[in-house]
Amino acid sequence: MTGNRLYKSEKLCGLTRIDALFASGRSIIAYPLRAVYNILPHGENGTAPARFLVSVPKKKLRHAVDRVLIRRRTREAYRLNRAALLPALEAKGRRVDVAFVYLSSSLSDYGVIEEKMRQLLERIAAQASEHDGTSQETALSC
């Protein structure tokens, strides 16, 4: 998959996979974003090396238009900065499932979200390059 386009295979879906991510995933925070991630062994061919989801809690932002705006900004920041993560995963033969959760009760500018996204992806890439592959998670298909 080339270019900056987000493909369906890069979206994290499936209740079982999402529950496993939040149950046993690691968490890092770069306010206003929190990333919950699981580094897994590389799955079958055709599986994206990184799959993600974006969550904006209704408790934090009450209006749907605000939640959609933050979701779009977060998705765009991921789309443009995921290149920091993918080479580290491919070099080690790993894949990662990531959930980005918005923490702030107010709207953030795109520049802030993009900078924090870059920090999170660099930290996850560093963890992926250090990861020894002893994860107990099994590869689940979407």
Segment 9-18, tens digit of pLDDT: 999 999 999 9
- Count of CB atoms situated within 10 Å of the CB of 24: 12
Q: Dig out the tokens for 130 from the structure.
A: 């250090």
- For 40: left if phi > 0, alpha if psi spans -120 to 50, otherwise beta; the answer is beta
Q: How far apart are CA 128 and CA 45, in angstroms?
A: 19
What CATH code would you report for 10-130? 3.30.230.10
pLDDT for the residue 66 = 98
Amino acid identity of residue 36, one-letter, is V
Q: Give the β-pairing of 94-102 and 33-41.
A: antiparallel
Residue ranges of the domains in the chain?
10-130
Segment 90-129, tens digit of pLDDT: 888 899 999 999 999 999 999 999 999 999 999 999 999 8
Segment 25-74, tens digit of pLDDT: 999 999 999 999 999 988 766 678 999 999 999 999 999 999 999 999 99
H or E element, residue 125? helix 110-130
